């Protein structure tokens, strides 16, 4: 007995020594270790470009802020046709015009809208200026245009962009792969090697102490199956929620700011709501402007979060995205119980996650669509639905409309079901069907009246029911159709959290249409075989398909942004929830389903802890280090010379900051203006601000009214010879 104990002790010591040796090796620093980091400017989804037409030259001058080594240049280009046979000629020269790098790239090998690397092993010297030139031959690629100050702050060089010798005045979507000497260990290179080594040693020690049989018996006694059966679903939902929250905070607050022109409008209205200005999104600035371009509910929700949390509007919008994702998960949990984890996989859709990063109304719209679908399915399935069911249906329908005007489409879908109920009543003469049809009609009528009254209010206060003219302007219908094809392909692969494969992306549109047609036929066959009329799944799918059809039709007869994931994701989300319900019976009791569920929970747990670790390690949880904090500092600097309640003429300010200083409005001066007309137009502002260089040009060369020139001259005389903002009292 003593001899066996001694042998076990020796074996355990051997394992511990082996573990120590492995950890020592894994902790050893790799010789000549280097770390490569892609330093990229933040690119917003805003269609503003620096164009490189065929034969023109775009030159980017890079003045290094410090000595550093790069392994390549990172470029993001758009407007690249896969069918193009053209090339890009890229060169990089130092200040002595010595050629450091030259590449000729076929453009059909590049993916538009994605970063690609141009190899360049080069050392850059502090204060030296390098010249990166791009010449297009048989193609017209575009850089994304970026704010110059923001780009220079983010990158390790000061950037100046010229096109055909003329300065552009903005940055471009160009980054670098910076190489630094780093203490990289083998443990850093081989992911999870340290915890796996410790776990392996722990298992070996247990094996030595208890033997194979006792160890396996002990493992079998672990109530993993019972635990997952009881708590696995809820654990997965919690982990998914935490993962989404971390992703939103890190991606959309710490590492970037996702604000488009729509977002800026929502945020500005939210700030005014908190200040008690109601629908007047320029109320703080002193104007009676009416918020009508978008419905009021989403900015009201942001304002509510601002009021409760005392945070800025942008951060409040990110917190709201987190809360809405949590509410969607709770709705799925309440509706599907312990099988909600399978439906919740729909929230891992790339399109859904991207929507949570932006300050857009689609996420609350998806929540209300989901609630509407469940309420409608309940009414259609039940023999005699209660009044409460119709009240909730009407409430969620109104919420859909107040989130997006397009939400009115849900009542067209109800109209389709009313026609089916009418047909059933003609066949059966059952009073319950007649009663259900009357109640649905009344609900749709009341909700529709409320929606129309809202639009009438907009018409009276704004002049247009939805704030702006939605009539058709010129469209390239061939390009629009191609965008539709691309967008639908993206939706299909987003469902599986995948990018469109390169082999499909490179296909001509005629082939892409055939691929879409084959997918649609397969899906149609699957649905028609599985779907039961008036089931929850059928209602979700009908709402989704109707959304696709109606929206595509509207887009072809009115003008707005082209087709992309933002528009289709709400329908895709509904469709996936419905399809999940059709797939679930096939896997519910199959062997291996429990193991798959356990694997999903395990992977999600590892992913969440990995996100937390990386976020903390990289400063991702510290607000003062965030991209937003850096951007807000730039906004403070840009607005420093502009007093409260000002109108900025020919504003070059970052449009994303329009909510940050809601007391400021943008304006312009045309030759027909007089000083009196400017005072009347900008009645809410106390000051008129204009760049001194613009004011001097207008006085010297512009064909402007004498009263305007006199006011500008007086302002310039008081201001002096600087190049900042001239401030002139308006009243």
Specify the CATH number for the domain of residue 167: 2.60.120.820
Sort strands 725-729 and 49-51 into parallel, antiparallel or unpaired: unpaired
Residues 274 and 131 in one domain: no
Cβ count near 470 (within 10 Å): 14
Residue 584 scores a pLDDT above 70: yes
Helix (H, G, I), strand (E, B) or coil at 404: coil
Residue 82 scores a pLDDT above 60: no
Residues 213 and 333 in one domain: no
Residues 387 and 329 in one domain: yes
| pLDDT class of 425 with cuts at 50, 70, 90 | confident
> Tokens 């969440």 map to which residue?
608
Residues 167 and 199 in one domain: no
Residue 624 scores a pLDDT above 70: no
| pLDDT class of 103 with cuts at 50, 70, 90 | confident
Torsional sign, CA 365, 368, 370, 375:
negative
Residue 401 scores a pLDDT above 90: yes
Model pLDDT, residue 592: 59
For residue 552 the two structure tokens come to 């595509």
Pick the last residue of a domain from 203, 222, 241. Answer: 222
Query: 226-276: per-residue pLDDT in tens?
Result: 666 677 788 889 888 988 998 898 888 887 888 888 899 999 999 999 999
**Domain assignment of residue 233, yes or no:** no
Query: 438-491: per-residue pLDDT in tens?
Result: 999 999 999 989 999 999 999 998 888 887 776 655 666 777 888 888 888 888
Residues 564 and 543 in one domain: yes
> Tokens 């549109």 map to which residue?
509
Question: Average pLDDT in the 485-506 region?
Answer: 84
For residue 414 the two structure tokens come to 């109800």
Residue 394 scores a pLDDT above 70: yes
Residues 82 and 96 in one domain: yes
Residues 106 and 203 in one domain: no
Q: How far is CA 651 from the centre of its chain?
A: 27
Q: Which of 22-26, 236-240, 269-273, 579-583 has the highest mean pLDDT?
A: 269-273
Give the chain's domain count. Answer: 4
Residue 333's nearest CA partner among 469, 255, 240, 465 is 240
The tally of CA atoms less than 13 A away on the side-chain side of residue 536 is: 17
Residues 400 and 310 in one domain: yes
**Domain assignment of residue 24, yes or no:** yes
Question: Average pLDDT in the 421-429 region?
Answer: 86
Residues 383 and 322 in one domain: yes
**Domain assignment of residue 242, yes or no:** no
Helix (H, G, I), strand (E, B) or coil at 322: helix
Helix (H, G, I), strand (E, B) or coil at 690: strand
Query: 709-728: per-residue pLDDT in tens?
Result: 999 989 998 887 777 899 99
> Tokens 């802020």 map to which residue?
65
Burial class (CB in 10 A: 0-12, 13-18, 19+), 94: middle
Residue 356 scores a pLDDT above 80: yes
Rounded (10°) angle between helices 536-557 and 565-587: 160
Cα 209 from Cα 220, distance rounded (Å): 17
Residue 90 scores a pLDDT above 90: no
Residue 569 scores a pLDDT above 80: yes
Query: 509-555: per-residue pLDDT in tens?
Result: 888 889 999 999 999 998 888 888 888 999 999 999 999 999 988 88
Please, where are the H alpha helices in 275-361? 297-309, 313-336, 340-344, 350-357
Model pLDDT, residue 183: 64
Q: Quote the domain boundaries for residue 544.
A: 257-588
Residues 120 and 165 in one domain: yes
Answer for the pair 368, 337: CB distance below 8 angstroms, yes or no: no
Residues 19 and 54 in one domain: no
Pick the last residue of a domain from 169, 204, 222. Answer: 222
Q: Which residue has the higher pLDDT, 680 or 587?
A: 680
Helix (H) or strand (E) holding 494: helix 477-494
**Domain assignment of residue 409, yes or no:** yes
The tally of CA atoms less than 13 A away on the side-chain side of residue 389 is: 17
Residue 712's nearest CA partner among 724, 726, 730 is 726
The CA–CA distances, whole Å, from 204 to 217, 222, 345, 439, 633 equal 15, 18, 36, 69, 55
**Domain assignment of residue 247, yes or no:** no
Round the average pLDDT of the chain to a whole number and report it.
Answer: 84
Residue 430 scores a pLDDT above 60: yes
**Domain assignment of residue 463, yes or no:** yes
Residues 358 and 456 in one domain: yes
Helix (H) or strand (E) holding 158: strand 157-163
Helix (H) or strand (E) holding 60: strand 57-64
The CA–CA distances, whole Å, from 145 to 46, 195, 607, 624 equal 9, 44, 34, 27
Question: In three state form, how does the secondary structure of 77-127 look?
Answer: EECCCCCCCCEEEEEEECCCCCEEEEEEEEHHHCCCCCEEEEEEEEEECCC
Residue 45 scores a pLDDT above 70: no
> Which pTM does this prediction carry?
0.79
Model pLDDT, residue 481: 85
């Amino acid at each position: 007995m003593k001899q066996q104990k001694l042998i076990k002790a020796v074996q355990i010591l051997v394992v511990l020594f082996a573990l120590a040796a492995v950890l020592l090796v894994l902790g050893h620093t790799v010789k000549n270790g280097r770390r490569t980091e892609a330093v990229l400017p933040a690119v917003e989804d805003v269609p503003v470009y620096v164009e490189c037409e065929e034969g023109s030259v775009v030159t980017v001058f890079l003045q290094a802020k410090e000595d550093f080594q790069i392994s390549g240049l990172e470029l993001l280009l758009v407007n690249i046709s896969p069918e193009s046979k053209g090339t890009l000629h890229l060169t990089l020269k130092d200040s002595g015009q010595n050629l450091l790098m030259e590449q000729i790239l076929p453009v059909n090998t590049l993916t538009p809208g994605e970063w690609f690397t141009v190899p360049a092993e080069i050392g850059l010297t502090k204060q030296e200026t390098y010249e990166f030139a791009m010449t297009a031959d048989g193609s017209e690629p575009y850089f994304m245009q970026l704010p110059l100050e923001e780009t220079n702050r983010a990158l390790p060089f000061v950037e100046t962009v010229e096109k055909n010798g003329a300065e552009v005045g903005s940055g471009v979507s160009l980054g670098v792969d910076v190489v630094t000497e780093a203490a990289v260990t083998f443990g850093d290179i081989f992911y999870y090697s340290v915890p796996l080594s410790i776990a392996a040693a722990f298992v070996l020690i247990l094996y030595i102490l208890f033997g194979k049989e006792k160890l396996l018996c002990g493992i079998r006694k672990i109530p993993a199956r019972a635990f997952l059966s009881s708590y696995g679903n809820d654990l997965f939902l919690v982990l998914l929620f935490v993962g989404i929250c971390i992703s939103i905070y890190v991606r959309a607050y710490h590492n970037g700011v996702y604000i488009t022109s729509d977002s800026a409008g929502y945020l500005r209205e939210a700030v005014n709501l908190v200040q008690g200005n109601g629908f007047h999104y320029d109320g703080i600035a002193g104007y009676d402007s009416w918020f009508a371009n978008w419905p009021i509910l989403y900015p009201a929700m942001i304002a509510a979060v601002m009021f409760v949390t005392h945070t800025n509007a942008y951060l409040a919008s990110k917190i709201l995205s987190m809360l809405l994702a949590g509410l969607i998960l709770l709705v799925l949990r309440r509706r599907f119980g312990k099988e909600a984890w399978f439906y919740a996989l729909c929230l891992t859709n790339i399109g859904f996650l991207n929507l949570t990063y932006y300050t857009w109304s689609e996420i609350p719209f998806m929540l209300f669509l989901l609630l509407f679908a469940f309420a409608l399915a309940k009414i259609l399935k039940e023999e005699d639905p209660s009044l409460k069911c119709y009240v909730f249906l009407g409430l969620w329908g109104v919420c859909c409309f107040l989130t997006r005007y397009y939400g009115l489409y849900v009542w067209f879908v109800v109209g389709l079901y009313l026609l089916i109920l009418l047909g059933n009543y003609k066949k059966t003469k059952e009073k319950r069907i007649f009663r259900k049809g009357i109640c649905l009609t009344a609900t749709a009528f009341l909700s529709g009246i409320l929606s129309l009254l809202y639009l009438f209010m907009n018409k009276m206060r704004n002049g247009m029911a939805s704030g702006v003219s939605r009539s058709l302007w010129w469209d390239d219908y061939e390009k629009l159709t191609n965008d539709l094809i691309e967008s639908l392909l993206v939706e299909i692969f987003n469902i599986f959290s995948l990018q469109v494969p390169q082999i499909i992306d490179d296909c001509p549109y005629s082939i892409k249409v055939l691929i879409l047609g084959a997918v649609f036929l397969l899906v149609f066959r699957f649905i028609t075989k599985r779907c039961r009329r008036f089931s929850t799944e059928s209602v979700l799918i009908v709402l989704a398909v109707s959304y696709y059809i109606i929206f595509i039709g509207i887009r072809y007869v009115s003008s707005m942004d082209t087709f992309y994931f933002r528009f289709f994701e709400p329908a895709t989300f509904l469709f996936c929830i419905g399809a999940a319900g059709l797939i679930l019976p096939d896997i519910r009791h199959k062997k291996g389903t429990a193991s798959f569920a356990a694997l999903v929970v395990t992977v999600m747990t590892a992913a969440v802890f990995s996100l937390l670790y990386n976020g903390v390690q990289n400063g991702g949880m510290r607000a003062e280090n965030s991209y937003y904090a850096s951007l807000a500092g730039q906004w403070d600097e840009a607005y420093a010379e502009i007093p409260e309640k000002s109108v900025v003429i020919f504003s070059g300010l970052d449009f994303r900051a329009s909510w940050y200083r809601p007391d400021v409005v943008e304006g312009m001066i045309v030759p027909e203006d007089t000083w009196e007309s400017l005072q009347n137009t900008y009645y809410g502002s106390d000051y008129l601000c204009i760049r001194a260089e613009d004011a001097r040009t207008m006085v010297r060369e512009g064909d402007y009214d004498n009263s305007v020139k006199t006011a500008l001259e007086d302002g310039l005389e008081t201001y002096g010879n600087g190049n900042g903002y001239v401030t002139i009292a308006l009243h």
